[in-house]
Structure 1
Amino acid sequence: MGQDIKSKDLFSEVEFTAEDRQKVQDCIKNSEKPLFFKWRIKSIAAAAVLLFTLAGSLALYGSGTKAFAFSNFPFFDSIFSLFGDEGLQKASNDGNVSLLSLEKQEDGIKMSIKEAVYDGRRLSISYVIESEKPINNYSYKQIDAYIPLNHSEEGISRNGVRDEQISENKVAGISTFTYDYDKGEMPDKIKVDFLYKATTDKSYKWEKDFSFRFQFPVEKSEDIKTIPINMVKQWENKVLELKSIKLSPLTTSVNLRYKEPYNNREPYPSHTIRLIDENGKVLRNLNNWTMGMGTQTKENGQWYSVTEYKEFFEQVEKGSSTVTIQVINGTSNRFKEDTPVSSTPLSTEAAFQMGEMGSIEIDKIERADQTLTIAYKYTSSLAFLNDFQFMLTDKKGEFYHGIEKSRNYLGGGAYLVEEVFPNTPDEGLSIRYFNEKAPELIEEFQMEVPIK
């Protein structure tokens, strides 16, 4: 069992000079083989939605992301700081993550748990998998975390997984679990039972599977501010109730209850919940989509469909006084059959309108080795409703998916975004995008909520 050490304690007396960083980068550049990036998102309870989305994406865009050199990465001290969202990066930079030294090995596969952070609502774990044989078409199969509470195992509700193949024989990743405990606040210290199952070659006839299980304690990094709210919006015969908001430096969680008369054609109404800060910046959903738990109830002789939404978003900036909740009827129209797809040549002059979903203006294009970095201005009233805004395609029909490097809010619904596109050819690239209809924003359900 590894010792639970805070990163801020470990690095309190360590200084990295510019020369140190350059030496590390040079060593990596000279020793590592080209790397492979694969994007993985998982929500067990919403598997059908995920499969539908992936099927549509693959039909339009072809196979996955290409390789690019590790030397193009900035220097980093942790997986959280490199692959993590804004909350994880901040926790890593502030030294509020637990550094774990846990390792297991079997049949030529070694897995190491590197970091963990827990704020009472969210648990994130980083890890590295190493294989003696080359990894081909890596895919996780099952990732679970359980926390014993009140002498019974309580399952973590949902998880988002990001696995990146960082060399021919190595994968690094982050699993994030979001949890809502109806019986009160989660304890300050928890014991995590973490299960990870994957295959190093999904295309292999028998699939080269492996499985590891780790148990370790984690202490709460920050206190959670709970804001009990009973705010109700009514529109026609539909009711939306905001029950609470909980804030931490890692996470913003929102608890909503939606009720409408039962309709047997749509017994479980589908909505997308969005969270906007007081400056108009979108706070992204940590699980990448909205998932409600639906049921039916009878009141005064009338049957109703009731959906509980317990959503987890990026952290609200410290000192903010309000947030705005938006409700969208349904989800994105991106993968509907009648949504047209367009293309335009890649250049710094490129500017295009994505139907009703906003516009993009290419600002800067830089090339290092076989990797493109593209900076663009993205303006939309429904920003980041989709995981990606566009992809690149070459003359052979190969597609290249961008990896977000930075995202800065400019105001007025506009963002300056930088994305890295690995292993792209020197010429002949085009931008491929959707001319998408915007889903219905239910303005009657919009709530501006005080959080101070």
Structure 2
Amino acid sequence: MNEQQIQNAKRSYEVLETDVELMMEKVGKRLQSGKGRAVQRPKWMIRRMSLTAAAAAVLCTVVLGSGFISPAMAAVLKEIPIVGSIFQKVRGPGLQTAAERGMSETVGQAVHNNGVTLQIQEIIYDGDRVSIGYVQQADEGFVNGSGPWDGIDFKINGEPYSDSVHGTGTEALDSGGNTRVGQITLQPNKQKLPDQFELTIEVAAVGGIAGEWNFTIPVKKTVSDIRSMMPMLTKSDGETTLLLKKVSFKPGVVDVEVELRRPAAMAGERMYSTEVVTDRGIALEGGNMEGDGYIEGDTHVQLGTFHFDAPEQMPKSITIQQRIPETYTEDERWNKVELTGEPTESNPLVISQGAAGRLLITKIEQSENNTMVYFRTEGNDPKNQGYVVIEDKQQPWGFLSPDKQTEVDAEKYSYVSEFAAIPADQSLVFMANNLKKPNYNKKLEITLPLEF
């Protein structure tokens, strides 16, 4: 090992050690939660990817290549101490649950170049996708918060990886944004990853700063307790065919892999949103998708894996539904109600949500640290109805979003949302989304008995 490699290792330790206390504090705050599990905003709020080739091409395409780091250097860099889990800090389907159960593999390789340290901190591999948690730190700040996305290449056992890549943006761990964390996931749609392989990563820019950060990492499966079925069930509606290829129950997440074929002339049209309902009538939270779309002769082929929060109890069956997308004007989007008294379970603050139903606020707790709002939904689309905000015309979108939302009871569709502290003498105007009654293509509906 040469002197420069040794200095890189020492430098990596120093810059990452600087923020140990801050990182611990921030990760600790993020992990504080109430009863139940944290849930994402509903699909109408996050513009979830449905099976559209154009969106898939934009979000999934990455330029690919190769990289290398010496084994001697890697051995030294693995000694850098790890603080917490990246996957408890950033979003990703099933990543937090897997990390909490110890199903991540510590890597700890770090390289310092051009004033930037990039550390591959840990990896989660469930046999279908590889998630890479990283820390990046700049001596004098980053040009932008994009992470290592501007020029990143991968190889699997020396062969270029040319399938889907996705992940999160970076999240700052300090007030200046000089220390940031994020995750990148390799989610192949066309190729199968081996159970064990050597992953090569070459990064040409981090946060807008050009340089060279190369890693070679041995990867093996880290996630256990996976139950999968490959039903290969098909349903058709005219010239449109849906194939249910695979369903996997993993720690914290249910993956539903589908293939949809339709005439190439329909490639630019909006597509369905995939939803999953259990035999007990519980709509699973989530539905974010990674996939790929392409033209094959006269056929538009769309491949996708949808991710849903795993139910607390294993269902006897699930029904995969294809929801016809709704359109709204901005004037149709929100309904508002001002708080005039203390809401209770027997006398809630009721906000109409149009044809979908209504949202009922049953309790509000205000303190110097936060504002807690307890509510439930009733109606035709209770899972998607489950989101409330507070009007604040000083905010970019005209409302204050919750910092965290927790599902209290999946069957009763009850939640608690945590907002920033609001002065007790300030009037509160709550806003809930106005929704149309959901409409599904019944011809493409598939009910799957679970036989694990």
TM-score by length of 2: 0.67
CA deviation after TM superposition for structure 1 residue 152, in Å:
2.0
Q: 1:364 to 1:253 in 2, by over 3 A?
A: same
CA deviation after TM superposition for structure 1 residue 88, in Å:
2.4
Give 1:339's match in structure 2, choosing from 332, 355, 369. 332
Q: How does 1:355-366 map to 2 (within 5 A)?
A: 355-366=354-365
Higher helix share: 2
CA deviation after TM superposition for structure 1 residue 175, in Å:
1.9
Q: 1:308 to 1:403 in 2, by over 3 A?
A: same
Q: How does 1:316-355 map to 2 (within 5 A)?
A: 319-330=314-325, 332-334=326-328, 336-337=329-330, 339-346=332-339, 348=343, 349-355=348-354
Q: 1:345 to 1:85 in 2, by over 3 A?
A: farther
Q: How does 1:410-421 map to 2 (within 5 A)?
A: 410-411=410-411, 414-421=412-419
Q: Which runs of 5+ in 1 are unaligned?
A: 2-23, 33-38, 51-75, 200-207, 299-303
**Over residues 13-59 of structure 1, what are the superposed CA-to-partner deviations in whole Å (9 max), with x where a residue is unaligned?**
xxxxxxxxxxx89x959xx9xxxxxx999989738998xxxxxxxxx
CA deviation after TM superposition for structure 1 residue 221, in Å:
1.2
Q: How does 1:7-406 map to 2 (within 5 A)?
A: 28=25, 46=55, 77-84=84-91, 87-106=94-113, 108-132=115-139, 138-140=145-147, 142=149, 147-149=154-156, 151-161=158-168, 163-170=170-177, 171-180=179-188, 182-184=190-192, 186-193=194-201, 195=203, 199=207, 209=209, 213-215=213-215, 216-222=217-223, 224-249=226-251, 251-261=253-263, 263=265, 267-285=268-286, 288-289=288-289, 293-295=293-295, 297-298=297-298, 304-315=299-310, 319-330=314-325, 332-334=326-328, 336-337=329-330, 339-346=332-339, 348=343, 349-379=348-378, 381-383=380-382, 385=384, 389-394=387-392, 396=394, 399-406=399-406
Q: Which residue number corresponds to residue 10 of structure 1? A: none
CA RMSD of aligned residues (A): 4.2
Q: Which runs of 5+ in 2 are unaligned?
A: 2-20, 30-40, 60-82
Whole-Å separation in 2 of the counterparts to 1:318 and 1:188:
31
Q: Which residue number corresponds to residue 63 of structure 1? A: none
SS for the counterpart of 2:149 is strand
**Over residues 100-120 of structure 1, what are the superposed CA-to-partner deviations in whole Å (9 max), with x where a residue is unaligned?**
323344555444433321111
Aligned length: 376
CA deviation after TM superposition for structure 1 residue 326, in Å:
0.9
Q: Which residue number corresponds to residue 451 of structure 1? A: 450
Whole-Å separation in 2 of the counterparts to 1:80 and 1:323:
28
Whole-Å separation in 1 of the counterparts to 2:307 and 2:105:
22
SS for the counterpart of 1:91 is helix
Q: Which residue number corresponds to residue 35 of structure 1? A: none
CA deviation after TM superposition for structure 1 residue 449, in Å:
0.9
Whole-Å separation in 1 of the counterparts to 2:371 and 2:322:
36
Whole-Å separation in 2 of the counterparts to 1:113 and 1:439:
43
**Which one is further off, 86-95 or 316-325?**
316-325
CA deviation after TM superposition for structure 1 residue 277, in Å:
3.5
Whole-Å separation in 1 of the counterparts to 2:383 and 2:164:
24
Q: Is the 8 A contact 2:112 2:213 kept in 1?
A: no
**Over residues 327-354 of structure 1, what are the superposed CA-to-partner deviations in whole Å (9 max), with x where a residue is unaligned?**
1123x535x4452433222564432122
Q: Is the 8 A contact 2:278 2:317 kept in 1?
A: yes
Whole-Å separation in 1 of the counterparts to 2:25 and 2:191:
48
**Over residues 78-125 of structure 1, what are the superposed CA-to-partner deviations in whole Å (9 max), with x where a residue is unaligned?**
343354467223222221111232334455544443332111122223
Q: What is the identity, as a one-letter code, of the residue corresponding to 1:333?
A: T
Whole-Å separation in 1 of the counterparts to 2:420 and 2:409:
25
SS for the counterpart of 1:167 is coil
Whole-Å separation in 2 of the counterparts to 1:354 and 1:292:
34
SS for the counterpart of 1:282 is coil
Q: What is the identity, as a one-letter code, of the residue corresponding to 1:402?
A: P
Q: 1:195 to 1:93 in 2, by over 3 A?
A: same
CA deviation after TM superposition for structure 1 residue 408, in Å:
3.5
Q: Is the 8 A contact 2:104 2:123 kept in 1?
A: yes
Q: 1:91 to 1:262 in 2, by over 3 A?
A: closer
- Comparing both chains, which one has the higher relative contact order based on Cα–Cα distances under 8 Å and sequence gaps of 6 or more? 2
Whole-Å separation in 1 of the counterparts to 2:368 and 2:139:
28
Q: 1:130 to 1:141 in 2, by over 3 A?
A: closer
Q: What is the identity, as a one-letter code, of the residue corresponding to 1:356?
A: A
Whole-Å separation in 2 of the counterparts to 1:28 and 1:115:
20
Q: Is the 8 A contact 1:391 1:401 kept in 2?
A: yes
SS for the counterpart of 2:354 is coil
Q: Is the 8 A contact 1:276 1:323 kept in 2?
A: yes
Higher strand share: 1
Q: Which residue number corresponds to residue 32 of structure 2? A: none
Whole-Å separation in 1 of the counterparts to 2:373 and 2:202:
37
Q: Is the 8 A contact 2:94 2:250 kept in 1?
A: no
| Identical pairs, percent | 19
Q: Which residue number corresponds to residue 73 of structure 1? A: none
Whole-Å separation in 2 of the counterparts to 1:145 and 1:323:
38
SS for the counterpart of 1:241 is strand
